Amino acid sequence: MPRLALSSGSRGTELKERAPRDAGAARAAGAATSGVPAALRAIGVRPSRRLGQNFLIDPRVAERIVALVEDPREAVIEIGPGLGALTTLLAATGRELTAVELDLRLAEALETRLAVWPAARVVRGDILEQRAEDLASGPATVVANLPYSITTPALEWIVTQGGRVKRAVLMVQREYAQRLSAKPGGKEHGSITVFLQLHAEVRVLFRVSPGAFHPRPEVDSVVLEVVPRPYPGTTAEERASVERLARAGMGTRRKTLANALGRALGMEGAVVRAWLGAAGVDPERRGETLTVDEWIALARVAPRRMTT
């Protein structure tokens, strides 16, 4: 049965009918994922490693990602739309959509393609220099096949937009995703693991093989859902302290926590040991074995000058 979808354009907000998996939208996705090498040649783009340009060529993967953002009333910010594999599907619902693209040749080509959907626009530039509140009229969902080169700063950007990003659906390299959910003690556990746990809930949704992209990457990817939220029971000041301490305590892998913190923070060994003792943390442990709750305990009893 067809559903009613809100479509807001320059002619005002109107109601139009949309089938669950709109045939026009599917065609649009097909157009943006097929013939990618030829489309790139036509606009003079050679895929750039620096810009993390691995374009999606499998329309089923594009559809699966966009199906996770079903409600057309949800405003979307897309990071790095490229040739528009996800963008055209998202725009075809008539939703508010802002796609931020750094490569000006891709941005220009996409602008032409999006002209038929008045609620969709392209912003030329670096996502890391934008503010979500300037990109969407209210809290928005971020969608991206993320350029590998900016995965960490993009995640930091997503969780620091003051509530203007309510959710993100992101394609990232599988190994990177494993770091995000790594348990303390493993070699993949690091300060980004702690950072993201402090600021968001993260869920791996599904895996995507290298064959879904052009050029083909060497590794698998996964699609993640990231929902920004502060770690329960913590203040903004405590979270900021934990970030600093975790970076200092995990900067030098093989060192004990007491040595790593003492060195990074310029503290006497005896003072560090007394501090760790007060938090109930063994000074001989390595930083990457601490849970988020233990970092929080450390931050709460830290000498003030160490956390600011």
Question: What residues make contact with ligand SAM under the rule CB under 6 A?
Answer: 51-56, 79-83, 85-86, 100-103, 106, 126-128, 145, 147, 150
In the bound state with ligand SAM, the residue whose beta carbon lies nearer, of 51 and 261, is 51
3-state secondary structure of 145: strand
The DSSP output letter for 157 is: H
Cβ 172 to ligand SAM, closest distance in Å?
10
Cβ 210 to ligand SAM, closest distance in Å?
13
Cβ 181 to ligand SAM, closest distance in Å?
21
In the bound state with ligand SAM, the residue whose beta carbon lies nearer, of 135 and 260, is 135
H-helix or E-strand spanning residue 141: strand 140-145
Cβ 263 to ligand SAM, closest distance in Å?
33
Cβ 54 to ligand SAM, closest distance in Å?
5
Cβ 150 to ligand SAM, closest distance in Å?
5
> CA 170, CA 173: separation in Å to the nearest integer?
10
In the bound state with ligand SAM, the residue whose beta carbon lies nearer, of 150 and 261, is 150
Give the residue among 30, 247, 74, 119 at the shortest CA–CA distance from 239.
247
Q: List Cα–Cα distances, 155 to 168, 172, 195, in angstroms.
A: 9, 11, 10
Give the residue among 51, 84, 50 at the shortest CA–CA distance from 66.
84
In the bound state with ligand SAM, the residue whose beta carbon lies nearer, of 54 and 307, is 54
- Given phi > 0 = left and psi -120 to 50 = alpha, else beta, which region is 137? alpha
Cβ 92 to ligand SAM, closest distance in Å?
15
Q: Which residues of 25-46 are buried (b: 16+ CB within 10 A; e: fewer)?
A: bbebbbbbbeebeebbeeeebe
Q: Which residue is nearest to ligand SAM (CB)?
A: 80
In the bound state with ligand SAM, the residue whose beta carbon lies nearer, of 80 and 94, is 80
- Contact criterion met (CB below 8 Å) for 223 and 169: yes
In the bound state with ligand SAM, the residue whose beta carbon lies nearer, of 125 and 269, is 125
For residue 179 the two structure tokens come to: 């770091």
In the bound state with ligand SAM, the residue whose beta carbon lies nearer, of 129 and 268, is 129
Q: List Cα–Cα distances, 71 to 80, 95, 167, 174, in angstroms.
A: 21, 9, 13, 27
